[in-house]
Structure 1
Amino acid sequence: MDTGDIYFIVGELQKYGPLGLGLLSFISNLIPGFPAIYLSLLASYAIVSPGGYQSLLAIVAAGAGSGLGKTCLFLVSGFLGSKLETVRARREALRMITGKRGGIAVTVFLFAALPLPDDILYIPLGVAGFSKLLFIISVTLGKIAMALIVYSLGSTGKWIIDIYISNIGALTVTNIIVLGAIVILASILITYTIISVNWFRIYSAYAERGEGEAIKTLIDEIKIALTFKNIRNKAVLASK
């Protein structure tokens, strides 16, 4: 996606105003691992925006749309966590880990406001049945803060655009299809990894030996998930 592509899309966004930004922000945050392209558009929109209340509306729309997208992901994770037998057994461990709601709410806000991989936090929180109200408030405020930062930077000059789009490439039909396939595969892998993690083992390590051992155990669990070790072991047992 080069500068010309960005300006074309921004020109189209001007027809719909903040509502268009909100919709794109929602879609961009609805799918796990989806690139935050809406931030590039928001920064570019800031350059051509008339300012004033339009700026405030754009920031709130982008933040609220992003927060709504993450909330939908959070709710779907919670629904799956309550229905799937393989997840339900590990849900209680996640509940214990996320027991301090005030601290977790701050963490949700920070992950939303900073360029951090927030899906790896939000999906487990959904599975654990974390407070919906606290999540919605924290993630929406965090995304509005992120939108404010990006919009403010975008309004200072065109240079901020290149930070977000330098490695995306030309916006062609082929690239869109490839990007879509990559996003779907990445989403499946992320969801599978999080569901496959043995949270009981991680919590036990945390309770018995502290944060350092819990982190080591988490890394070990992720390695097991990514190498499909559990699936291979089950296949071997089934073949005997």
Structure 2
Amino acid sequence: MEINIIKTIVEWFSIIGDPAIVYSYGYLGVFISSLAGSFLLFTPMPFFFIVYVAGIVLDPTLVAITSTFGATIAKVTIFKTAGLGKRFIGQKTQNRLRPFERLSYKYGWFAAFLAALSPIPDDLVYVPLGLIGYNIWRFIAATFTGKLIFTLMITWGAKLSFPWINLLIGAAPNKTYATMLAALIIITGVLILYLIVKLDWERILEKWYPWTIENVDEENK
């Protein structure tokens, strides 16, 4: 059932990536597709083709800004939802997560920024940060900045390179491959989240980051 859902999503995004459809819906369509596409957990930018095509038929800068707002709203929602899950975690598990939490307070902004700046499934970073209660304003700043830069590269890259890669626009994607890849990414994401919760981070980080296990009061300002 899950495979069929993923396959349907892949086909749906292929259809709405048509230039005529993108142009007719304009910036509102870019915002909605970026918002909806970013709610798909552990999936690397499923609305890529829409943003790419929009960068060609619309203003690249406005497309990037509009898409970034939609994507950031979705990621903040996922971040906050993950944070609600902390109340369902036992005290023993929270203690194991404490060193990871301190490490994230120091490097979390960079991790969130890097995830937003790349096409990797950023929820692999955002969900754990939400789970440990990372500062939301730092998260928003890092996510918005990273996604804006990355999306600008997509839209302006599309605008400038379109004359040379026009033939690639009509190429049909290998849907079987895309479906298998999406399923693999989701499974990997769930596994990573499970390991983050279950691993004894005090023992793991003691060797490389001893300061994370010191009994100090590190507040998330």
Q: Residues 31-88 of structure 1, C-alpha deviation per residue, up to 9 Å, x if partnerless?
A: 3321323122211222222x3xxx3331111111122222222112211123222643
Mark the CA change 1:191 to 1:156 in structure 2 (over 3 Å): closer, same or farther: same
CA distance in 2, matches of 1:209, 1:22: 42
C-alpha displacement of 1:13: 2.6
* Unmatched tracts of structure 1, length 5 or more: 211-240
Cα distance in 1, alignment partners of residues 110 and 16 from structure 2: 36
Residues 1:131 and 2:135 aligned together: yes
Q: Which position in structure 2 is the counterpart of 1:201?
A: 203
Amino acid at match of 1:151: T
| Contact 1:31–1:73 under 8 Å retained in 2 | no
Q: What letter is aligned with 1:30?
A: F
Alpha carbons of structure 1 residues 139 and 8: separation in structure 2 relative to 1, 3 Å? closer
TM-score, normalising length: structure 1: 0.67
Instruction: Verify: 1:16 aligned to 2:25, yes or no.
Output: yes
What SS does the aligned partner of 1:130 have?
A: coil
CA distance in 2 between counterparts of 1:161 and 1:142 reads 30
**1:177, CA displacement in angstroms?**
7.8
Change (3 A) 1:137 1:167: farther
Q: Distance in 1 between matches of 2:50 and 2:167?
A: 8
With normalisation by structure 2, the TM-score equals 0.72
Report the Cα offset of residue 183 of structure 1: 6.3
| Alpha-carbon distance in 1 for matches of 2:111, 2:77 | 18
Does the alignment pair 1:74 with 2:79? yes
1:59 and 2:64 matched: yes
Unaligned runs of 5+ in 2: 1-9, 213-221
Cα deviation per residue 1:113-137 (whole Å; 9 max; x = unaligned)?
A: 1234433322221122110011011
Moved over 6 A (4+): 174-180
Residues 134 and 12 of structure 1, relative CA distance in 2, 3 Å threshold: same
The residue aligned with 1:231 is none
- 1:96 aligned residue (72, 93, 102): 102
Going from structure 1 to structure 2, the CA distance change for 1:138 and 1:167 (only over 3 Å counts) comes to farther
Cα gap change, 1:28 to 1:118, in 2 (>3 Å): same
Superposed displacement of residue 8, structure 1: 5.4
Please, which of 124, 149, 160 is the counterpart of residue 145 of structure 1? Answer: 149
Matched, 1:34 2:47: no
User: Match of 2:219?
Assistant: none
- SS across alignment from 2:44: coil
Change in CA separation of 1:76 and 1:37 when aligned onto 2, cut-off 3 Å: same
Is the contact made by 1:112 and 1:146 (CA closer than 8 Å) also made in structure 2? yes
**Kindly tell me: are residues 175 and 110 of structure 1, through their superposed partners in 2, closer, same or farther at Cα, counting changes over 3 Å?**
closer
Do the aligned partners of residues 87 and 161 (structure 1) sit closer, same or farther apart at CA in structure 2, a change above 3 Å counting?
farther
Shift of 1:187: 4.7
Code of the aligned partner of 1:47: I
Q: Distance in 2 between matches of 1:88 and 1:24?
A: 36
